[in-house]
Amino acid sequence: MTPGTQMNPLLQVDQLRTYFHTREGVVRAVNDVSFTLNSGERMAVVGESGSGKSAMAMSLLQLLSYPGSVESGRVLLEGRDLLGMKEEELNHVRGGEIGTVFQDPMTSLDPIMSIGDQLVSHMIRHLRLNPRQARERAAQLLTQVGIPDSEARLRSYPYELSGGMRQRVLIAMALSCKPKLILADEPTTALDVTIQAQIVELLKDISTETGMALLFITHDLGLVARFAQKVAVMYAGRIVEYGSVYDLFERPQHPYTQSLLRTIPSIKGPRPKRLMQIGGFPPDMRQPIEGCAFADRCLAAVPQCRLEAPELEVKHGRQQAACLVDGGIEAVIGQTMPLHREGAEPLPQDELRVETRPVLELQQLTRHFKTDASLFKREGRTVRAVDEIELSLDPGQTLGLVGESGCGKSTTARMLLRLDTPTAGEIVVEGVDIAKLKGEALKSFRRKVQMVFQDPYSSFNPKMKIRDIIMEPLQVMDIGTREDRELKVQDLIRTVGLDTVYLDRYPSQLSGGQRQRIGIARALALDPSIIIADEPTSALDVSVRAQVINLLADLRERLGISILFISHDLSIVRHISDKIAVMYLGKIVEYGSADAIFEDPKHPYTQALLYAAPVPDPVAEEKRTIRLIGGDLPSPSNPPPGCHFSTRCPMVTDRCKQDQPVLEQMADTRKVACFHAS
Amino acid sequence: MADYAWRKLLQLIPTVIGVVTLVFLAMRMIPGNATGFMAGDNLSGDALAAMTERLGLGIPMWQQYVNYVTGLLRFDLGTTIVTGLPVSQLILEALPITVMVAVLTVLISCVIAVTIGTIAAYLANKGKKWFDQLITWLTMLVDLMPSFWMALLLMLTFTLTLGWFPASGTINFSDPGQMLQRIALPLMVLCAGQIAMIARITRTAVLEVLGEDYIRTARAFGLPQLRVVFRHALKNAAMPVITVAGLAFGNLLNGTIITEFIFSIPGIGTLLINGINSRDYTLVQSVILVYAFLFILVNMLTDFIYKYIDPRVRL
């Protein structure tokens, strides 16, 4: 690189403003966003949904969908303004100079075109290669991004590849035309943690090797710490904090960043009773915002905050934040409430509750599916979705169930709810085996176990009022008179911390966090003894996750409910669980107290999960040697012989490939299924 | 693929048996019979009975059924009751005309409908709703118009006033120009209904695909918009369009019956109507059997097109 170009940044975004002109009004998605990115630099843009981060990214490429439009500003790529460019010139920049990796690898590739054809066409256009050269380069690229047998893979269709593989294909596509900048919009959000770790390492390596700059858009602060050198935090369409990754994590200046970092539970150290939470919900971007958008949720807000929208200004060294109060919440935190984790008392230890009968016991619980055998095919295969698992849950406790998608977590949940009938084994709830219940007995059992669903956006009938949604279980079970039910519903909505005025609204009028509270209220309607929470926070904004977790923890304490908490987010699982079970391909591989497992994981798979989980601390991330496990989850219909994890395990020996280890007692509170655990 | 074709053919057997039986019974449930139609008011008593006997209608119904089915097994469709002509010959003469009209209708309407549907979707995706609204409004209007009424309107305009297209006369395959002129009006009537439906489906399908992530991916790699539409959007939107076009072909077979009759085109539709009017059981049974075969054939064809377009489809 010549000294002349060193002077100019690769990408300079200046006062970018993007609006969506909808019928309901103007959504000011991006407001005066400015930043610069140099060659070879890795920058992260962090924000929750609606913060304008994706709209900003699409504005750079001029690919906003209707009714979005860039109102003003400049986007300079090596000094050329992309905003004034003609479509033909832009089409040269798109793909040729800026490669893009999108969020969902499942939907980002054309499903009916082969991988090869999709890769090759862009190279023919941008690099002016002939088809044969392009195919050769495509095969090389697939090898480079870690796809084995690349020649054959070129002929595959997307549906024949796993999510992780597809994301590798998309990365290969982004690299294919030798761009100067790669734009990655939540590239790992749809993937499992172990695959996420692989993809992040891949992107990091690529930028180091090729000198490409990377703009990484995410909502996950842990990933930022692992990945980025520079960070911009967005809230309600503005950059509220901007600086180097070390500064940002060490001394965050904006109250939003400061609070967000505090809401994330740690995977090390003592556990507080409650997480710090940010009150309220992100602003509705359809409404005009007066003053600072974060003011309503900010602990440090002063009256001036509601009148005047602060600009980004230098706070510390080169670190910038948009806040009127110097020091943000740090300035006021001592006087208001003990927010630090250190201040909170640790959870009571398990040992204190002895001799209680478990509220739930699973014995040899098994669910096998048979794939269809047809006239012209040989007999179907057996998928061992859940294979002889044994768990127990004590009253008022939380059991965390962890594992990658396809490991059998959700099948287990379905069986506990008796939405699915086990192939074999027992489900003992309060001393009664409910595995084979039928008719009236089954109906009355359903009161005991209730569910909180993952996606609060799709788990309600949109045509029903909140009142009717919460009341429905009471009606189904024919409990009480109309008046009784009404009182109960009012009681329930207050229990989950919402006002009774919401009872007359429809789900679409509520935010995600409010809806998940309604989901919890509905689950509580029948006074269950067990609640199954299947990824209850994964569809929520980062800033409201802690609210929902705290609510669940409070309810457990107040009502004595037991919770089965299913999640892939290890830090949240650790925070809320007393015991943890790690599942892999239908089997439990490690089972024990949450603290013990996180402190000293015994099974190589648990270790891998912990290594893969990013920690919101760039210093720790840098020190950590990340031992990745390679490959994808094997198909449950055709698991490897011997130990199911043997194909990905770093400690594998010949014995692992032949014999299957059983879950054995290791210590007082721990069971592990591994020959090498000690 | 071959495996699939065999399976389909096996499935055909119960379908054919069902159709044959149903038609056989239905025809005999309509009041009146062939003898009555031929004799009018002139015959009665013994003479009528003798005629019934001669036409083969004197034997019990189950016997008639057995005779008919055994005939079919020998690929013998029999002779018409009324005129005594071989049914297979009548069908072979009429079928090419109907098939030609139907195939032309499907081709022409697909080309026009997919074009305007795609344009409507493309513009709607960019927020230009006026063309989209115009198309939706127009197609609705055409769809609501009864086809016989439109046929009369067209005849009034193009035959009686302008004198461009004849509304009756023979159809001669050796003179394509004259033939096209002859079938122009029925084609217009049949196409109008199909275009309206297929255009609406295309619009919806393409609009949906244009919102998909892989379209954004293609655009983010610099593929010009029009090529995105042709390379990615149309092919992905093809499935519902083909489904509807396949179903439309079935409706079309119904449509040809009325339209052929109005424009007096000697296709199997006209043959069927004549057969029903004269209660000519063997003729009607055979014509409906032909319809059933055509329908199943089209179904198979659409399945093969699915497989060709989308590698995920398993036959």
Q: Which chain A residue has the Cα nearest residue B223?
A: A91
Please report which confidence band the pLDDT of residue A336 belongs to, taking 50, 70 and 90 as the band edges. Answer: very low
The token duo for A498 is 């919402």
**CA angle, A452 then A455 then A461, to 5°:** 85
A199 and A167 in contact (C-beta within 8 Å)? yes
* Nearest chain B Cα distance for residue A124, angstroms: 11
Cβ of A122 and B216 within 8 Å? no
The predicted-structure confidence for A420-438, as pLDDT tens digits, reads as follows 999 999 999 998 999 888 8
Q: Which chain B residue has the Cα nearest residue A109?
A: B214
How many other C-beta atoms are found inside a 10 Å radius of the C-beta of residue A600? 12
CATH fold label, A351-448+528-672: Rossmann fold (3.40.50)
Q: Is B214 near chain A, with CB under 8 Å?
A: yes
A17 and A34 in contact (C-beta within 8 Å)? no
Cα A467 to chain centroid distance, Å, stands at: 30
Q: Is B211 near chain A, with CB under 8 Å?
A: yes
Please report which confidence band the pLDDT of residue A5 belongs to, taking 50, 70 and 90 as the band edges. Answer: very low
Tell me which residue in B216, B221, B225 faces A173 most closely, judged by beta carbons. B221
Cβ of B221 and A157 within 8 Å? no
Chain B CB contacts of A67 under 8 Å are 127
**B193 contacts: CB under 8 Å, gap ≥ 6:** B142, B143, B147, B251, B255
Please report the number of interchain residue pairs, chain A to chain B, with beta-carbon separation below 8 angstroms.
Answer: 84
Cβ of A109 and B217 within 8 Å? yes
Q: Is B46 near chain A, with CB under 8 Å?
A: no
Q: Which amino acid is it at A208?
A: T
Q: Is B278 near chain A, with CB under 8 Å?
A: no
**CA angle, A166 then A168 then A172, to 5°:** 115
Encode B85-122: b = buried (16+ Cβ within 10 Å), e = exposed.
eebeebbeebbebbbbbbebbbebbbeebbebbbbbbb
Chain B CB contacts of A102 under 8 Å are 213, 216-217, 220
* Nearest chain B Cα distance for residue A44, angstroms: 20
Considering only residues 65 to 124 of chain B, which have any Cβ-Cβ distance to chain A shorter than 8 Å?
none
**B2 contacts: CB under 8 Å, gap ≥ 6:** none
Q: Which chain A residue has the Cα nearest residue B217?
A: A108
Q: Is B126 near chain A, with CB under 8 Å?
A: yes
DSSP code for B265: -
**Helices within A319-465 (DSSP H only):** 333-336, 409-416, 439-445
* Nearest chain A Cα distance for residue B225, angstroms: 10
Whether residue A350 has pLDDT greater than 60: no
Q: Which chain B residue has the Cα nearest residue A64?
A: B216
For the CA atoms of A489, A491, A496, A502, the dihedral, rounded to the nearest 10 degrees, stands at 50
Whether residue A170 has pLDDT greater than 90: yes
d(CA A360, CA A428): 6
Chain A CB contacts of B218 under 8 Å are 110
**A643 contacts: CB under 8 Å, gap ≥ 6:** A649, A652, A656, A657, A659, A660, A661, A673, A674, A675
d(CA A145, CA A141): 6
The predicted-structure confidence for A519-561, as pLDDT tens digits, reads as follows 999 999 999 999 999 989 888 888 888 889 999 999 998 898 9
Tell me which residue in B213, B222, B232 faces A126 most closely, judged by beta carbons. B222
Chain B CB contacts of A65 under 8 Å are 125, 211, 216
Chain A CB contacts of B223 under 8 Å are 91, 95, 121-122, 125
The predicted-structure confidence for A116-140, as pLDDT tens digits, reads as follows 999 999 999 999 999 999 999 999 9
d(CA A120, CA A150): 14
Chain A CB contacts of B214 under 8 Å are 107-111
Q: Is B16 near chain A, with CB under 8 Å?
A: no
The token duo for B67 is 């005779």
How many other C-beta atoms are found inside a 10 Å radius of the C-beta of residue A256? 30
Cβ of B223 and A122 within 8 Å? yes
CATH number for the domain running over B94-309: 1.10.3720.10
Q: What is the pLDDT of residue A225?
A: 92
Whether residue A372 has pLDDT greater than 80: no
* Nearest chain A Cα distance for residue B221, angstroms: 4
**B202 contacts: CB under 8 Å, gap ≥ 6:** B113, B114, B116, B117, B118, B121, B237, B241
A195 and A112 in contact (C-beta within 8 Å)? no
Q: What is the pLDDT of residue A346?
A: 44
Q: Which chain A residue has the Cα nearest residue B220?
A: A94
Cβ of B236 and A110 within 8 Å? yes
**CA angle, A108 then A113 then A117, to 5°:** 100
Encode A181-216: b = buried (16+ Cβ within 10 Å), e = exposed.
bbbbbbbbebbbbbbbbbbbbbbbebbeeeebbbbb
Please report which confidence band the pLDDT of residue A374 belongs to, taking 50, 70 and 90 as the band edges. Answer: low
Partner residues linked to A215 by β-bridges: A43, A183
Cβ of A110 and B125 within 8 Å? no
List, for chain B, all residue ranges whose pLDDT scores fall below the cut of 50.
Answer: none
Partner residues linked to A70 by β-bridges: A18
**CA angle, A196 then A199 then A203, to 5°:** 140
d(CA A135, CA B159): 59
How many other C-beta atoms are found inside a 10 Å radius of the C-beta of residue A544? 25
Q: Which amino acid is it at B238?
A: A
Quote helix, strand, coil % in chain B, to nearest 5. 80, 0, 20
Q: Is B312 near chain A, with CB under 8 Å?
A: yes
Q: What is the pLDDT of residue A349?
A: 46
* Nearest chain A Cα distance for residue B231, angstroms: 10
**Among A558, A553, A556, residue whose Cα is nearest residue A537:** A553
Tell me which residue in B219, B222, B232 faces A110 most closely, judged by beta carbons. B232
Q: What is the pLDDT of residue B39?
A: 67
Chain B CB contacts of A57 under 8 Å are none
Report the range out of A145-149, A208-212, A578-582, B41-45 with the highest average pLDDT: A578-582
Unique residue bearing structure tokens 């497992």:
A597
d(CA A155, CA A147): 13
DSSP code for A373: P
Cβ of B221 and A94 within 8 Å? yes
The percent of residues in chain B predicted with pLDDT above 70, rounded, is: 94
What residue segments make up the domains of chain A, in order of their start?
259-343, 351-448+528-672
Instruction: Calculate the average pLDDT of chain A.
Output: 87
Please report which confidence band the pLDDT of residue A340 belongs to, taking 50, 70 and 90 as the band edges. Answer: very low
Q: Which chain B residue has the Cα nearest residue A110?
A: B214
For residue A612, give the H/E element and its range. Answer: helix A604-612
Tell me which residue in B125, B222, B225 faces A92 most closely, judged by beta carbons. B222
How many other C-beta atoms are found inside a 10 Å radius of the C-beta of residue B167? 19
How many other C-beta atoms are found inside a 10 Å radius of the C-beta of residue A515? 22
d(CA A388, CA A408): 11
The percent of residues in chain A predicted with pLDDT above 90, rounded, is: 51
Q: What is the pLDDT of residue B279?
A: 79
Tell me which residue in A63, A112, A173 faces B311 most closely, judged by beta carbons. A112
Task: Establish whether the linkage from the previous residue to A148 is cis, with ω within 30° of 0.
Answer: no
Q: What is the pLDDT of residue A339?
A: 43
Q: What is the pLDDT of residue A335?
A: 46
Q: Which amino acid is it at A2?
A: T
Calculate the alpha carbon distances from A581 to A414, A415, A565, A603 in Å.
17, 17, 10, 11
**B39 contacts: CB under 8 Å, gap ≥ 6:** B47, B48, B51
Chain B CB contacts of A175 under 8 Å are none
Q: What is the pLDDT of residue A136?
A: 94
What residue segments make up the domains of chain B, in order of their start?
19-73, 94-309
ipTM over 0.95 threshold: no
Cβ of B211 and A65 within 8 Å? yes
d(CA A47, CA A582): 30
Chain A CB contacts of B126 under 8 Å are 66
Q: Which chain A residue has the Cα nearest residue B4?
A: A376
Partner residues linked to A241 by β-bridges: A233, A321
Give the three-state DSSP class for A82: helix
Collect all residues from A whose CB is shorter than 8 A from any CB in B. Answer: 61, 63, 65-67, 87-88, 90-96, 99-100, 102-104, 107-113, 121-122, 125-126, 157, 159, 170, 173, 177, 375-376
Cβ of B235 and A112 within 8 Å? yes
Chain B CB contacts of A177 under 8 Å are 221
d(CA A535, CA A456): 11
Chain B CB contacts of A90 under 8 Å are 222
d(CA A247, CA A84): 35
The predicted-structure confidence for A380-426, as pLDDT tens digits, reads as follows 678 888 999 999 999 999 999 998 888 889 899 999 999 999 999 99
Which one is predicted more confidently, A481 or A356? A481
Q: Is B307 near chain A, with CB under 8 Å?
A: no
Whether residue A337 has pLDDT greater than 50: no
Q: Which amino acid is it at A492?
A: L
Chain B CB contacts of A87 under 8 Å are 224-225
Cα B225 to chain centroid distance, Å, stands at: 36
* Nearest chain A Cα distance for residue B16, angstroms: 22
Cβ of B220 and A107 within 8 Å? no
Which one is predicted more confidently, A451 or B1? A451
Answer positive or negative: Cα dihedral of A348, A349, A355, A357. positive
Q: What is the pLDDT of residue A454?
A: 87
Cβ of B309 and A112 within 8 Å? yes
d(CA A580, CA A564): 10
Q: List, as one string, the DSSP characters of A545-565.
A: HHHHHHHHHHHHHHH--EEEE
